[in-house]
Amino acid sequence: MSRLLCTLLVFMLWLGTAAARESRMSFEIDKSAQHAAMRHARDLVVFAQSELNLKLDWSDASVRHVEELAGSLHADFRRQRASAADIAPLVTMIGSYLGEVLRRNHGAQWGWVSVNGHRVLGLKAEQTGALFTPIETAKRRVHHGASSNLWRTYQVKAGS
């Protein structure tokens, strides 16, 4: 078999595998998931006001403040001042707020994003159908740093 034919077959197999991976991604609307995310988002608003004297107003611009908060959490996590378990509730609140601002301002529905059988809380954009997992995004930001900047990610997801 010629080298070109082998290369073409490998490429076709790769495309088929990539398509199979994509086909295993799905979204299921879940009103109870939406209520939970909304509750966690409101908890962040209350926490930010009472503990940090920071007013979060559900605006796109408020996501910048949430990015700063996530950056501070990352610094504490990195210096081992806080464990993953210690900050998990705050990460959930940050991600929920991020998603809820996107839902309110740009149209999306909460539910479950499934990728290869792994389900995580997420949103599906009403206009584009794009999927977003804001709690996982917040987790990456806090655990891995500024390369997962919440403000930049939000701007992309919001289409800004």
Question: What does the pLDDT read at residue 25?
Answer: 85
- Domain count for the chain: 1
**Rounded CA separation 31/28 (Å):** 10
CA angle 67, 71, 88 (to 5 degrees): 90
CATH of the domain at 36: 1.20.120.1090
Domain limits for position 91: 25-158
Question: What does the pLDDT read at residue 82?
Answer: 77
Residue 103: how many other CB atoms lie within 10 Å: 23
Tell me if 97 is assigned to some domain. Answer: yes
Tell me if 138 is assigned to some domain. Answer: yes
Query: Nearest 5°: phi and psi at 26?
Result: -145, 170
CB contact set of 102 (below 8 Å; sequence gap of 6+)? 108, 123, 125, 132, 134, 154, 157, 158
Question: What does the pLDDT read at residue 48?
Answer: 97
Tell me if 80 is assigned to some domain. Answer: yes
Question: What does the pLDDT read at residue 30?
Answer: 96
Question: What does the pLDDT read at residue 78?
Answer: 87
For residue 103, give Cα distances in angstroms to 21, 32, 89, 110, 126: 27, 15, 21, 8, 9
Tell me if 63 is assigned to some domain. Answer: yes
Contact between residue 62 and residue 129 where contact means Cβ atoms under 8 Å apart: no
Tell me if 141 is assigned to some domain. Answer: yes
Tell me if 11 is assigned to some domain. Answer: no
Question: What does the pLDDT read at residue 77?
Answer: 86
Tell me if 20 is assigned to some domain. Answer: no
Tell me if 2 is assigned to some domain. Answer: no
Per-residue pLDDT of the chain (160 residues; tens, 9 = 90+): 556 544 544 554 554 444 444 447 899 999 999 999 999 999 999 999 999 999 999 999 999 999 999 999 999 888 887 788 989 999 999 999 999 999 999 999 999 999 888 999 999 999 889 999 999 999 999 999 999 999 999 999 998 7
Question: What does the pLDDT read at residue 2?
Answer: 55
